[in-house]
Structure 1
Amino acid sequence: MKNKELQEIYFRFLNLVRSVEELPSFPKLDATENELLNLVAQQWKKGERLLVSDAIAMRAIGSPATLHARLKQLRDKEMITYVIETDGRKKYIEPTDGALKYF
């Protein structure tokens, strides 16, 4: 495929994504929420789960306070849920059905 054809496909893809994101029913996520949700979903897809403490420690994305706030916002938007194992000391993050529909 020629470079120009690939560019055209990519720009059509971007326009489609932008159109979907502008739908009223589409959840509005900021960049940090989007990155966190993508990380959670990637881990989940691999059969792994991300700990809340590990997500909050990701300084490349934001400060612990910012990440904690964004996790709360994602939870309020029903995009993630917390799963607590039997010992109660570890809290895992999993995408909700709404998040999977979002993807």
Structure 2
Amino acid sequence: MKNKDLQEIYFRFLNLVRSIEELPSFPKLDATETQLLNEVATHWKSGERLLVSDAIAMREIGSPATLHARLKQLRDKDMVTYVVETDGRKKYIEPTSTALKYFSDISNCMIEATAK
């Protein structure tokens, strides 16, 4: 496939994502929230459990205060949930069904962009 064709696919994908982001039902996430949600989902998908404390320590994404605030926002938007262990000292973060639908919607944009 030529570079020009690949570029066209990418720009179709971007336009499709922009169009679904404008839907009132689509979750509004800022860049930090998106990156944090991607990290949570990647760990979850690979079978790893991400602790809240480990997420807050991801300095490449943001400061601990910023990450703590973004985790709260993701919870408020029903994108992540906390799972507490039996002893109550460890909180794990998992994506919710809303987050999984979000990823499915983005994936559908990829499929549609490559179908033309």
Measured against the shorter chain, the TM-score band is over 0.9
1:102: Cα distance to partner? 0.7
Question: Aligned residues, how many?
Answer: 103
What is the correspondence of 1:26-65 to structure 2 with a 5 Å cutoff? 26-65=26-65
Give the fraction of aligned pairs with identical amino acids, expressed as a percent: 86
Q: Deviations over 1:37-70 (max 9, x none)?
A: 0000011110111100000011111111111010
Q: Which residue of 2 aligns with 1:84?
A: 84
Query: Per-residue displacement from partner, 1:52-100 (whole Å, max 9, x unpaired)?
Result: 0000011111111111010000001110000011121110000000010
In structure 2, runs of 5+ residues without a counterpart are: 104-116
TM-score (norm 1): 0.97
Name the structure, 1 or 2, with higher relative contact order (CA <8 Å, separation 6+). 2
Give the TM-score of the pair, scaled to structure 2.
0.86
Q: CA RMSD in A?
A: 0.7
Q: Kindly provide the amino acid, as one letter, of the partner of residue 20 in structure 1.
A: I
CA distance in 2, matches of 1:5, 1:34: 27
Corresponding position: 1:22 with 2:36: no
